[in-house]
Structure 1
Amino acid sequence: MAESESGADKSEEPTEKRLRESREKGQVARSRELSTLAVTLGGFGGLLVFGGSMGTAMLDIMRGNFSLSREVIMDKESMALWLAASGQHALESILPLLLVLMAMSVLGPISLGGWLFSTESMAPKFSRMNPLAGLKRMFSTQSLVELLKALGKFLLILIVGISVLHAKEQDLLAMAQEPIETAIMHACVVVGWSSFWMACGLILIAAIDVPFQLWTSKQKLMMTKQEVRDEYKDSDGKPEVKQRIRQLQRQMAQQRMMQAVPEADVVITNPTHFAVALKYDPQKGHAPVLLAKGGDFVALKIREIANEHQVMVLESPALARAVYYSTELDEEIPAGLYLAIAQVLAYVYQLRQYQSGKGKRPPPLADLPIPPDLRRDE
C-alpha cells in the first residue's frame, strides 16, 4: 500500500477532481513498450506490404543509374536532373511506409491514456536537474523495472532472432545462387518476415508493461483519507465559510426587506411576536404582495420603520400569523386570505380619509374571515 510523505496510507481511490487535475498536468499512464510495439509492427508490416513495390522501384533506380550514357555523365545539368528524378522516384516508393510509420507513432501513445496536450508537462522542470533527485530515480523501483524490461527485451529478441534465422537458413543460402534481381526481392521478403516476427516478440513485453503502467499511475494518484476530506471541503466549501456566506446572505436579504417596508400600504402585527408588511398595486398584480415579514426583533424593527415613514400599523394577531406562515417574500397572499386583507385595506383607506378630514371615522375591524387551514395558533 502506498504511503504519503507524511506516512499516512494512501488507501482511497482518486477522486474525479484528482483525476482531472492529473490529466491537465499531463500525468497519465503511458507505455513506451506499447509505442515501440506499434511503430515496429507498423514498420515491418508496411515493409511486407510495400516491400515488393519498394524493391522494384529501387531496382529501376539502380538499373537506370548504372546505364547512363557518356553524354549524360559528362553533363552537369543532366546529372542534376537525373539525381532529382531518382530521389523523387525513391521518395514516392517509400512514402506509403513513411505514412504508416507516422500513423503508428501517433496511435501507439494515444492508445493508452488517450489524446492529451498539456503545456504544463512541456514546461521545463528545474527540480530534475538536482543530482540527488537523479540518483534517487536511478535506484528507484521504476528504474529497476526499466532495467528488467530492457534485459527481457534483449533476451526475447535474441531468442526470436536466432529462431527466425534458423528457420530461414535455407532461404539465405539459396540467395547466393539466384540472379541479382530475384535475390534482392527474395531478401526483402526474408528481411521483412524476419523483422516482423522479431517485432511480434515485443507483444509479450507490452502485455506486461501496460498493466504495470496502469497500476503505477493509479498508485501515484491514490489518496489518504485526510486528502479526500480536504478535497471535499475545498469543493463543497468549508462549513465555517458556508455558514458565514449564509449569514451574509440573510443580512443582505433582511436589509433589502427593510428597505421595502416604507412602500407598504399596511403593517399587520401580532402585536409583538410577528409583523407583516403588505402592498397592493392593481396594475402589477391581482392580490396584495408580502414585502416584509419577521418575528420578535425583526418584527419590532419593521414596526419602527413603518412608524418612521407613517405606514399604517394594525393589530390582528390571527391574520398576522396566517400571512407570516403562508406567504413568502415578494409573493402574493393565498386566495383564502383575499377577503380578510381586502377588509384591512378598505379600513386603512377609510382611516386615511378620516385623518385627512374627508370622511367619517370607520368602525373598528371585526373578526376577520380566516380559513381554518390557514389559521396558526401561538
Structure 2
Amino acid sequence: MTDYLELDLQLFAEDKKEPATPRRRQMARERGQIFSSQDLVSAVSVFFAVIALRLGFQHTSDLIAKRSVEIWSSLPPPEPTIGWAVAVLRDVFGLAATASAPVVAAAALFAFGASVAQVGLNFRPALLAPDLARINPLAGMARLFSRRSLETCLRSLVKVAIVSFLAWNTLRRVWPELSALVIRDLVSSLGLIKEVLEKVLLNCSVFLVFTGILDYVYQWWEYEKSLMMTPREIKDEMKDTEGKPEVKAAIRSRQRQLARRRMMQEVPKADVVVVNPTHYAVALRYKIESDPAPVVVAKGLDDLALRIRRIAEESGVYVVEDPPLAQALYRAADVGEMIPEELYQAVAEVLAYVYRLSGKTPLEGSLR
C-alpha cells in the first residue's frame, strides 16, 4: 500500500511548471498555435483610421461636394426610368466607396501590420487542408461552451457596452449641432460630421488601446502557460532530439569547435611550436614545477597548422622547423598528453635551443 501511495504522489507531482523549450515552441508554431491580441489589432486599426480621416478629409469633402452637386442636379428627370435609378444608385455607392477608401485602406493596412508585428508571417498551407476533426459537431459544441469561449464572450460584451457608452456620450454632447444639419450647407455639414467621427473614433481607440495592451499580456500569459512542460516531457524531448543523426552530428561539430577554440587559446602559453613548415604544427609546453614531461597543448594539419604557427609568432612563441620531429610528435601524442619517452632526447635538444635563444636557464635532468 505504501508503494502505491508513493507512485501516486509522484504522478501528481508531474505538474507543467517548466518553461517551453525552443523545439516545443517551434512545433506549436508549425501547428498554427500562436498567440495574438485581436483587441490590439482593432485598436491600431481604429487609431490609424482616425489619422487617415484627419489627413484626407479636405480632399474627401471636396470630392463629396462636387459629386453630390452632379448627382442632385440630375434629380428628378422628366421621365424617371429604371436605368436612371440604377445610374443614380451606382453614383451614390461609388461616391461612398471612393470617400471611405482611404480610411478603410489605412485601417486594413495597419491591422495587417499589427498582426504581423505580433506573430510574424506564419502561413502554413497544411492548416488549409480538410480536417474532419474541425467540423465535428460534438467538438464544436464543446469549444462553444468551454470556459475560454465564455470568458471571451463576456469580455466582448463588456467592451461593446463601454464602446457604445463612449460613442453615445460623445454624440449626446453634440446632438444639438447634429440636429441642425438639415439647415447647414453641405461643406459645413461635412466638417461637423468629420469632427464628430474623429471624437467618437478617438475616444474609442484610446479605450481599445488600453484594453488591447491588457489583452496582449493576458494572451501571452495563457500561451506561455499552455506550452509549459513537465520535467518528464523535457527529458523525453532531449532523448528524442539527441537520438537523431543530424542532431548528433551538430553536437559533435559544436564540440569540435569548442575544443579547437580552447586549443588555440593554449598556443600563446606554449614554450615552442615544432613545424614541418606548412603541413604539421605541434605546440609544446614544459613547466618543470608541474609537468613531468613536455605536454602537447595544440596540434594541427595544413590550414590549422598555419593558424597555430601564426598565433605563435604573434604571441612571441618560438617556432622551430624540424619536419621529422613535427610529424613524430603529431602521431605520438594527442592534445593534453605528454610526449612519449622515445622523443625525450629530440625535444630536449629543441627546448635547449629555445632556452639559449631566449636567455633562460637551461632545464637540468628532466628529459635526460
TM-score by length of 2: 0.57
The one-character-per-residue Cα deviations of 1:267-286 (angstroms, maximum 9, x if unpaired) are xxxxxxxxxxxxxxxxxx95
Structure 1 residue 215 displacement after superposition: 1.0
Partner AA of 1:145 in structure 2: E
Structure 1 residue 95 displacement after superposition: 4.2
- Structure 2 counterpart of 1:35: 41
Q: Which moved more, 1:223-232 or 1:14-23?
A: 14-23
- Structure 2 counterpart of 1:207: 213
Find the aligned partners of 2:39 and 2:220 in 1 and give their Cα distance. 13
Find the aligned partners of 1:149 and 1:335 in 2 and give their Cα distance. 81
Q: Which moved more, 1:93-102 or 1:29-38?
A: 93-102
Structure 1 residue 323 displacement after superposition: 9.2
- State which of 109, 114, 117 in structure 2 corresponds to 1:111: 117
Find the aligned partners of 1:182 and 1:337 in 2 and give their Cα distance. 103
Structure 1 residue 198 displacement after superposition: 2.6
Q: 1:212 to 1:338 in 2, by over 3 A?
A: closer
- State which of 166, 175, 180 in structure 1 corresponds to 2:172: 166
Q: 1:166 to 1:207 in 2, by over 3 A?
A: same
Q: Which runs of 5+ in 1 are unaligned?
A: 1-5, 247-284, 291-321, 341-370
- State which of 15, 18, 32 in structure 1 corresponds to 2:24: 18
- Structure 2 counterpart of 1:287: 324
Asked if the contact 2:37–2:215 (Cα under 8 Å) also holds between the matched residues in 1, the reply is yes
Find the aligned partners of 2:228 and 2:243 in 1 and give their Cα distance. 22
Structure 1 residue 224 displacement after superposition: 0.7
- Structure 2 counterpart of 1:130: 136
Structure 1 residue 172 displacement after superposition: 1.6
The one-character-per-residue Cα deviations of 1:172-210 (angstroms, maximum 9, x if unpaired) are 234343223322332232233223323333223323311
Q: Which runs of 5+ in 2 are unaligned?
A: 1-10, 253-321, 347-364
- Structure 2 counterpart of 1:351: none
The question of 1:50 aligning with 2:87 is answered no
- Structure 2 counterpart of 1:349: none
The question of 1:221 aligning with 2:258 is answered no
Find the aligned partners of 1:64 and 1:94 in 2 and give their Cα distance. 19
The one-character-per-residue Cα deviations of 1:259-318 (angstroms, maximum 9, x if unpaired) are xxxxxxxxxxxxxxxxxxxxxxxxxx953999xxxxxxxxxxxxxxxxxxxxxxxxxxxx
Structure 1 residue 92 displacement after superposition: 5.8
- State which of 5, 10, 15 in structure 2 corresponds to 1:9: 15
Partner AA of 2:234 in structure 1: V
- Structure 2 counterpart of 1:365: none
Find the aligned partners of 1:26 and 1:139 in 2 and give their Cα distance. 22
Asked if the contact 2:61–2:187 (Cα under 8 Å) also holds between the matched residues in 1, the reply is no
Structure 1 residue 89 displacement after superposition: 7.5
Q: 1:98 to 1:201 in 2, by over 3 A?
A: same
Asked if the contact 1:47–1:192 (Cα under 8 Å) also holds between the matched residues in 2, the reply is yes
Aligned pairs (5 A) from 1:292-331: 326-327=332-333
Asked if the contact 1:175–1:187 (Cα under 8 Å) also holds between the matched residues in 2, the reply is no
Asked if the contact 1:160–1:201 (Cα under 8 Å) also holds between the matched residues in 2, the reply is no
Partner AA of 1:62 in structure 2: S
- Structure 2 counterpart of 1:236: 242
Find the aligned partners of 1:85 and 1:166 in 2 and give their Cα distance. 33
Q: 1:125 to 1:217 in 2, by over 3 A?
A: farther
SS where residue 111 of structure 1 aligns? helix
Q: 1:205 to 1:323 in 2, by over 3 A?
A: closer
Structure 1 residue 41 displacement after superposition: 2.3
Max radius of gyration: which structure? 1
Find the aligned partners of 1:57 and 1:191 in 2 and give their Cα distance. 18
Q: 1:123 to 1:160 in 2, by over 3 A?
A: same
The one-character-per-residue Cα deviations of 1:234-275 (angstroms, maximum 9, x if unpaired) are 22239xxx8xxx9xxxxxxxxxxxxxxxxxxxxxxxxxxxxx
Q: 1:24 to 1:69 in 2, by over 3 A?
A: closer
Find the aligned partners of 1:144 and 1:334 in 2 and give their Cα distance. 77
**Corresponding residue pairs, total:** 261
Q: 1:29 to 1:42 in 2, by over 3 A?
A: same
The question of 1:101 aligning with 2:138 is answered no
Identity of aligned residues (%): 24
Aligned pairs (5 A) from 1:251-266: none
Asked if the contact 2:71–2:91 (Cα under 8 Å) also holds between the matched residues in 1, the reply is no
Asked if the contact 1:52–1:185 (Cα under 8 Å) also holds between the matched residues in 2, the reply is no
The question of 1:197 aligning with 2:197 is answered no
The one-character-per-residue Cα deviations of 1:15-49 (angstroms, maximum 9, x if unpaired) are 11111222233221111212222222222332233
- Structure 2 counterpart of 1:149: 155
Q: 1:86 to 1:191 in 2, by over 3 A?
A: closer
The one-character-per-residue Cα deviations of 1:92-147 (angstroms, maximum 9, x if unpaired) are 65443343123112112123223322233333332122223222212222112211
Partner AA of 1:108 in structure 2: A
Find the aligned partners of 1:146 and 1:45 in 2 and give their Cα distance. 29
